[in-house]
């Protein structure tokens, strides 16, 4: 057993209102620079839809993530030699138009225009060529199903047996906020020819070294979530950094901190590094989720604690792992699922799938419907969060419903549901964490390597100050 710590996030989709505050704060902090205008480290998609970049979920097209070849785990884009041959031209690399061409408006003309019969207008101008352009697509073109037809082209409909026509009477939608998943088995890291992308030893954050990156751009098609971007100005790859400067100081990422719906949770998970490869190689893709749960270790188990200490995980990290809201939702209550586990990257951002109103077909007088009667088809949610395994999604949604029924029964004195999976205290705790969702409860982030830092400070005692490294 080799224990490692991972900073991980849960998003409770039941509460996402699609306001894009996360995307905007992230953009303002990290990607409002020339070369990065088109990048959204965090974006919110309306599902069904083709997403950003277009059709990112279609891995027959992009060849992202891993696949099992003869039972062995291999990058979908080929073995190492095949991949080196693609250095000169990568057939699966997205182009700018797969995202969108960033633009601004000629606001100047509003001020400098001469007197005319008609009001002057600020025409859109490309931020790449600086020439006037016609806006045909944007990062959020499909917001609230606005793009119409493109929703039907959602790749997830491909594998669903039942017919989803998206006619008006059975229309449904949900929001899907997406960031880098900081995977345990990241395809971008494996694909980088220069070895510039790495997982941070202490918290598992996946980063691109801006010094080491040579612009071979293999990470971009390799990431099945298309969350590594090519900066056209610096000609290097960039991606979500999980706001590591904030994490190191015990603060949540900016997307999580500013989330209006308070639906993001951040905490520590402990996992067994030795089992990562086996979990990613689980033959049945519908079972990858369970393999992922298996490699997550119980932070209260004395054996795990000992192994973690042997692996050099600091005490404050262990404490955080024991109080981790993410561990509770992912492993204890099993209400959070990985996005597209079938890509086999073992993503570490988890989603509580959304409940939705009952369809017309169901009885009208029920307070809480059966999970099967919900407006968002189970099979669709299962494509997103359980690699098609409907049973997994059904169980999770049932737990969420049970929680509601228990809490309702408490107020109204109604009878409790006959079969409950957990005891009442557990449902109460679930309610507190997911319903009340206090800031302090949502985030439990140990400040980075505090203990070592304190030792450093002690070493500096008696020297003449901190103004130069190591004292003067």
Q: Could you list the residues that contact another protein (CB under 8 A)?
A: 80-81, 83-84, 87-91, 93-96, 128-129, 131, 185-186, 189-190, 192-195, 197-202, 210-217, 220, 230, 232-236, 276, 448
Looking at the Cβ atoms of 129 and 461, the one nearer to another protein is 129
Please state the closest distance from residue 209 (CB atom) to another protein, in A. Answer: 8
Looking at the Cβ atoms of 129 and 467, the one nearer to another protein is 129
Looking at the Cβ atoms of 241 and 337, the one nearer to another protein is 241
Please state the closest distance from residue 281 (CB atom) to another protein, in A. Answer: 12
Looking at the Cβ atoms of 48 and 314, the one nearer to another protein is 314
Please state the closest distance from residue 169 (CB atom) to another protein, in A. Answer: 42
Looking at the Cβ atoms of 185 and 379, the one nearer to another protein is 185
Contact present, 442 and 266 (Cβ < 8 Å): yes
Contact present, 96 and 39 (Cβ < 8 Å): no
Angle between helices 450-460 and 315-322 (to 10 degrees): 150
Please state the closest distance from residue 142 (CB atom) to another protein, in A. Answer: 22
Please state the closest distance from residue 201 (CB atom) to another protein, in A. Answer: 5
Task: Write the DSSP assignment of 105-141 as a string of letters.
Answer: E-THHHHHPPP-SS-----EEETTT-SB------TTT
CA–CA gap between residue 426 and residue 408 (Å, rounded)? 15
Residues composing the chain:
472
Please state the closest distance from residue 203 (CB atom) to another protein, in A. Answer: 9
- 166-173 long-range contacts, CB within 8 A, separation 24+: 166/48, 169/360, 170/359, 170/375, 171/145, 172/48, 172/356, 172/375, 172/376, 172/377, 172/380, 173/46, 173/47, 173/48, 173/144, 173/145
Task: Write the DSSP assignment of 277-312 as a string of letters.
Answer: HHHHT-SSGGGHHHHHHHHB--TT-HHHHHHHHHTT
Looking at the Cβ atoms of 207 and 434, the one nearer to another protein is 207
What are the tokens at 358?
């009952």
Please state the closest distance from residue 409 (CB atom) to another protein, in A. Answer: 47
In angstroms, how far is CA 202 from the centroid of its own chain?
20
Please state the closest distance from residue 260 (CB atom) to another protein, in A. Answer: 31
Looking at the Cβ atoms of 200 and 399, the one nearer to another protein is 200
Looking at the Cβ atoms of 230 and 443, the one nearer to another protein is 230
Contact present, 441 and 433 (Cβ < 8 Å): yes
Looking at the Cβ atoms of 199 and 264, the one nearer to another protein is 199
Looking at the Cβ atoms of 38 and 443, the one nearer to another protein is 38
* Of 48, 59, 53, 67, the residue nearest 156 (C-alpha): 48
CA–CA gap between residue 178 and residue 189 (Å, rounded)? 19
Please state the closest distance from residue 326 (CB atom) to another protein, in A. Answer: 21
Contact present, 189 and 206 (Cβ < 8 Å): yes
Please state the closest distance from residue 104 (CB atom) to another protein, in A. Answer: 15
- Conformation bin of residue 298: beta by default, left when phi > 0, alpha when psi is -120 to 50: beta
Please state the closest distance from residue 124 (CB atom) to another protein, in A. Answer: 15
What are the tokens at 215?
């612009």
SS3 45: strand
Q: What are the phi and psi torsion angles at 196 (to 5°)?
A: -90, -20
CA–CA gap between residue 43 and residue 141 (Å, rounded)? 12
Return the half-sphere exposure (C-beta side, CA atoms, 13 A cut-off) of residue 79: 3
Looking at the Cβ atoms of 200 and 264, the one nearer to another protein is 200
């Amino acid at each position: 057993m080799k224990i490692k710590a991972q900073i991980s996030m849960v998003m409770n989709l039941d509460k996402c209102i699609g306001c894009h505050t996360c995307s905007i704060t992230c953009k303002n902090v990290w990607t409002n620079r020339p070369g990065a205008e088109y990048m959204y480290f965090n974006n919110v998609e309306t599902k069904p839809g083709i997403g950003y970049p277009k059709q990112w979920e279609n891995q027959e097209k992009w060849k992202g993530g891993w696949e099992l070849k003869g039972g062995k785990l291999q990058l979908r884009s080929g073995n190492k030699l095949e991949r080196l041959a693609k250095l000169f031209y990568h057939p699966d690399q997205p182009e700018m138009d797969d995202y969108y061409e960033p633009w601004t408006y000629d606001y100047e003309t509003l001020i400098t225009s001469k007197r005319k019969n008609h009001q002057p207008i600020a025409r859109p101008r490309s931020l790449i060529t600086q020439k006037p352009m016609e806006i045909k697509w944007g990062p959020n073109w499909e917001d609230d199903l606005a793009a119409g037809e493109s929703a039907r082209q959602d790749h997830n409909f491909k594998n669903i047996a039942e017919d989803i026509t998206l006619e008006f009477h059975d229309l449904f939608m949900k929001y899907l906020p997406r960031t880098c998943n900081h995977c345990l088995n990241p395809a971008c890291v494996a694909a980088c020819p220069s070895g510039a992308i790495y997982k941070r030893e202490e918290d598992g954050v996946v980063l691109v070294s801006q010094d080491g990156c040579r612009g071979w751009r293999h990470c971009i098609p390799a990431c099945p979530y298309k969350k590594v971007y090519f900066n056209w100005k610096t000609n290097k790859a960039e991606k979500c950094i999980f706001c590591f400067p904030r994490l190191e100081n015990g603060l949540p990422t900016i997307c999580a901190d500013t989330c209006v719906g308070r639906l993001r949770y951040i905490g520590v998970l402990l996992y067994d590094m030795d089992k990562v490869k086996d979990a990613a190689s689980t033959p049945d893709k519908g079972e990858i989720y369970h393999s992922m749960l298996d490699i997550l270790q119980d932070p209260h188990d004395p054996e795990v604690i000992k192994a973690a200490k042997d692996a050099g995980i600091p005490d404050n990290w262990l404490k955080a792992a024991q109080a981790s809201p993410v561990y509770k939702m992912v492993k204890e209550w099993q209400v959070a699922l990985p996005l597209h586990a079938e890509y086999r990257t073992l993503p570490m951002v988890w989603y509580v799938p959304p409940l939705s109103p009952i369809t017309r077909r169901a009885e009208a007088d029920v307070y809480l419907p059966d999970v099967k009667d919900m407006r968002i088809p189970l099979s669709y949610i299962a494509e997103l969060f359980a690699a098609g395994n409907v049973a997994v999604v059904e169980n999770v949604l049932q737990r969420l419903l049970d929680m509601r029924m228990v809490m309702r029964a408490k107020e109204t004195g109604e009878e409790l549901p006959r079969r409950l999976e957990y005891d009442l205290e557990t449902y109460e705790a679930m309610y507190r964490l997911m319903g009340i969702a206090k800031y302090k409860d949502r985030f439990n982030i140990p400040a980075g390597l505090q203990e070592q830092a304190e030792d450093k400070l002690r070493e500096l005692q008696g020297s003449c100050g901190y103004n130069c490294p190591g004292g003067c």
